[in-house]
Amino acid sequence: MKSDQDSGLNLVVKNLGVSYIRKNSNTSVIENLSFDVNPGEVVAICGLSGIGKSTLVRTIAGLVRPSQGEVLIDSQVINGPIESLGFVTQDYSRSLFPWLTVEKNIALPFKGKDISASERKSRVQAAIEEVGLTESARLFPWQLSGGMQQRVAIARALVMKPKFLILDEPFASVDVYVRLDLEDLVSNLVHSHGTTTLLVTHDVDEAIYMADRVLVLSGSPAQLSLDLSVNLKRPRVQMQTRSDATFLTLRDQLHASIRS
C-alpha cells in the first residue's frame, strides 16, 4: 500500500549535456537530453553498451557535473550527491565491504545520521526481511552467492526508505531464474513504497516487464531516440506478461530503436 510519507519524487532532466575530458579534449557523451519522471513512476533506460546510460544516471544522482542544462528533483536543482537517493551501482559486488557482515553492510547509509540505535536496528531488520536474507544476516558478502550479494546491495539502497531509487544494471551476472525473482522483488518493493525509480538495463524484456516507460538512448553524443509507454496491467506475472501481444509489440519497437 502506498502512503503519502512514502510517495516518490518528481524528476526533470532539462537540456542535459555531459562531457568528459579525454586526451586533453572534451568529448561530449550526452547532448540536449530532456525528459520528466513522475512521482512513483518506474522508468527504464536502454541503449547499447558505452552509449552513456551510467553517465546519465550518475549525473542525475549528482555524482557527475553536467556541462549543459540541469537536473531538478522536486523543483530543486541538483548540485551534488542527493541525500534522498538509493543507488545500486553496476559494480554492486565491489560496493559491498568484505569485512562487514550483511547487516553491517546494509546499515552503512546510517553512518553520520542522527537516527537512534533502536530505529537503525529495526530498519536494517526490515530491509533484510524484505529481500529475504534473514538467515544470512551475520554472514560476510564472500560467503554469499552473486544473487544474494545483489539482494544485500538492494537492501542497502532501500534501508533509508528513499523516495528516489536508481538501479544501474542491478541484476547482471546472475542466472536467469534468480534474475526473474529479483525483478519481481524490486518491482514489488518500489510499487509498495511508491518510489520513483530509474532502471538502467541492457535487457529489453526486463525493461518492459518492470517499467511504466522505457527510454532509449542512441547516437554519439547520446540523445533520446524513443520514449515508450508500457501499457501492461499490474501486477505483472513473468511468463504470462512476457507472452502478452502488447509486450511483444513493445519489444519489437525497442529492439528496432536500439539498433537504429
The pairing of strands 68-73 and 11-22 is antiparallel
Q: How big is the site for Mg ion, counted in residues (CB under 5 A)? A: 1
Considering beta carbons, is residue 54 or 187 the nearer one to Mg ion? 54
Instruction: Report the nearest approach of Mg ion to the CB of residue 184 (Å).
Output: 23
DSSP secondary-structure letter at 243?
A: T
Own/partner long-range contacts of 73-81 (Cβ < 8 Å, ≥24 apart) = 73/9, 73/10, 73/11, 73/12, 73/164, 74/9, 74/10, 75/10, 75/12
Q: Does 131 bind ligand ATP (CB under 6 A)?
A: no
29 binds, among ligand ATP, Mg ion, none (CB under 5 to 8 A by kind): ligand ATP
Out of Mg ion, ligand ATP, none, which partner does residue 50 contact, by CB within 5 to 8 A per kind? ligand ATP
The residue (of 29 and 127) whose beta carbon lies closer to ligand ATP is 29
Please report the DSSP string for 5-70 in residue order.
GG----EEEEEEEEEEEETTEEEEEEEEEEEEE-TT-EEEEE--TTSSHHHHHHHHTTSS--SEEE
- Give yes or no for a contact between 162 and 85, defined as CB atoms under 8 angstroms apart: yes
Place of cell 551475520: 138
Q: At its nearest, how many Å lie between Mg ion and the CB of residue 3?
A: 33
Q: Give 127 or 216: the residue with its C-beta nearer to ligand ATP.
A: 216
Residue 97 in contact with ligand ATP, rule: CB under 6 A: no
In the bound complex, what is the minimum distance in angstroms from residue 47's beta carbon to ligand ATP?
6
Which residues, at least 6 apart from 75, have a Cβ–Cβ distance to it below 8 Å?
Answer: 10, 12
Q: Is residue 170 close enough to count as binding ligand ATP by CB under 6 A?
A: no
Stretch binding Mg ion (CB under 5 A), from 53-61, 136-144, 221-229, 247-255: 53-61
Among residues 41 and 168, whose Cβ is nearest to ligand ATP?
168
Using CB under 5 A, which of the segments 21-29, 48-56, 139-147, 216-224 binds Mg ion? 48-56
132 binds, among Mg ion, ligand ATP, none (CB under 5 to 8 A by kind): none
Cα–Cα dist 206/198, whole Å: 13
Check binding of 218 to Mg ion (CB under 5 A): no
Interface with ligand ATP includes 20 (CB under 6 A)? yes
54 scored as a contact of Mg ion (CB under 5 A): yes
242 and 205 Cβ atoms separated by less than 8 Å = yes
177 binds ligand ATP (CB under 6 A): no
Among residues 1, 3, 4, 22, the one that binds ligand ATP under rule CB under 6 A: 22
Query: Restricting to residues 29-68, which ones interact with ligand ATP according to CB under 6 A?
Result: 29, 47, 49-55
Cell of 119: 530505529
Structural contact between residues 23 and 51, judged by C-beta atoms closer than 8 angstroms? no
Residues that bind ligand ATP (CB under 6 A): 20, 22, 29, 47, 49-55, 90
